[in-house]
């Protein structure tokens, strides 16, 4: 380990933890500076630092969309795709690279879904537009959380493209409206208003699936 490196421990839901090497010199450097170093000067360490900073957020997004089993490979593709698109990506000083990475991940998931066609394993997570599965017969056999997840994804998939976009970025991807606005090419206030409407529609779609009444909370 280099003398100026720091070991940072991360831990996740699954209980495993790890030590990650982060250059101290990069800890306080903003994304836009690291991105500039990577793109303009071919600084591979700068790109690696961006990976260290954002890989887990991207992984979490991918797991929520297509399942944790796809995380490792899709995360690598997201960063490679970002690198391929580096001439198009303008990293804001405040918002950083994350919105672009989540945007790239979202596009990869969409394209992968199209490519996957009728792959049953994937469609259990990503349900095509307007195709809401009949889940009634599965209730008895499914773990409650898994069932709720499927119903939630079905409700999301039943919404229009605009509603899905803001929910996938702001709810699933945990971007702020300002960050999502960068990805979508619109104003933050527009994202906020769309998000408000989309949340109402999502709740209604979920209710229409019978999901809210199918789970007892007592």
Partner 1 sequence: MTDLMTPENDVERALRSPTEVLVAPEARDRHRALLMAAVTADVVEPAAVVTPIRVHGRGRRRVTVVVVGAVAVTAIGGGLAVALSRLRPSEPSMIRCFAVATTALDDAELGFDLGAAASPGGTVASVAVQAIDQCGQAWSRGELSSTAPYVPRDFPGGGQPVPHLVACVLPQGFVGVFPGPPGTCAALGLPEADL
Judged by CB under 8 A, does residue 174 bind partner 1?
yes
The CA-to-CA distance between both ends of the chain, in Å, stands at 52
Convert residues 34-73 into a mask of x (bound to partner 1 by CB under 8 A) and - (unbound): ----x---xxxx-xx--xx--xx--xx-xxx-x-xxxxxx
In the numeric block, the tokens 């990069």 are attached to 26
Cα(102)–Cα(175) distance, integer angstroms? 8
Judged by CB under 8 A, does residue 116 bind partner 1?
yes
Q: Please, which residues bridge with residue 23 across strands?
A: 5
Which of 1, 3, 4, 13 is in the footprint of partner 1 by CB under 8 A?
13
The number of residues making up the chain comes to: 218
The answer to whether 57 and 49 have CB atoms below 8 angstroms apart is no
Q: Collapse the DSSP code of 176 into the 3-class scheme (helix H, G, I; strand E, B; otherwise coil) and give the result.
A: coil
Taking contact as CB under 8 A, which single stretch among the options 22-30, 94-102, 135-143, 175-183 is the one that binds partner 1? 175-183
For 78, what's the count of Cα atoms within 13 Å in the CB-facing half-sphere?
31
Torsion sign across C-alpha atoms 15, 18, 24, 28: negative
Judged by CB under 8 A, does residue 142 bind partner 1?
no
Shortest Cβ 203–partner 1 spacing (Å): 6
Judged by CB under 8 A, does residue 177 bind partner 1?
yes
Residues that contact partner 1, how many (by CB under 8 A) = 84
State how far the alpha carbon of 90 is from the alpha carbons of 26, 83, 85, 96, 97, in Å: 20, 12, 10, 9, 8
Judged by CB under 8 A, does residue 5 bind partner 1?
no
Shortest Cβ 215–partner 1 spacing (Å): 7
Judged by CB under 8 A, does residue 7 bind partner 1?
no
Shortest Cβ 201–partner 1 spacing (Å): 11
Judged by CB under 8 A, does residue 75 bind partner 1?
yes
- The residue among 47 and 100 lying less far from partner 1, judged by its C-beta, is 47
């Amino acid at each position: 380990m280099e003398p100026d490196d720091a070991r940072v421990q991360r831990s996740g839901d699954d209980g495993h933890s790890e030590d990650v090497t982060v250059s101290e010199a990069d800890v306080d450097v903003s994304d836009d500076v690291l991105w500039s170093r990577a793109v303009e000067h071919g600084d591979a360490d700068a790109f690696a630092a961006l990976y260290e900073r954002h890989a887990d957020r991207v992984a979490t997004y991918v797991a929520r969309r297509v399942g944790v089993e796809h995380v490792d490979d899709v995360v690598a593709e997201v960063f490679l795709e970002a690198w391929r698109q580096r001439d198009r990506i303008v990293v804001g000083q405040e918002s950083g690279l994350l919105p672009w990475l989540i945007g790239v991940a979202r596009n990869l998931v969409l394209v992968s879904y199209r490519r996957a066609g009728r792959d049953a394993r994937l469609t259990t997570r990503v349900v095509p537009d307007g195709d809401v599965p009949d889940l009634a017969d599965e209730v008895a056999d499914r773990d409650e959380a898994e069932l709720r997840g499927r119903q939630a994804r079905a409700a999301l998939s039943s919404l229009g493209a605009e509603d899905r976009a803001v929910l996938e970025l702001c709810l699933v991807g945990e971007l702020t409206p300002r960050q999502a606005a960068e990805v979508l090419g619109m104003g933050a206030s527009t994202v906020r208003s769309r998000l408000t409407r989309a949340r109402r529609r999502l709740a209604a779609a979920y209710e229409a699936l019978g999901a809210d009444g199918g789970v007892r909370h007592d």
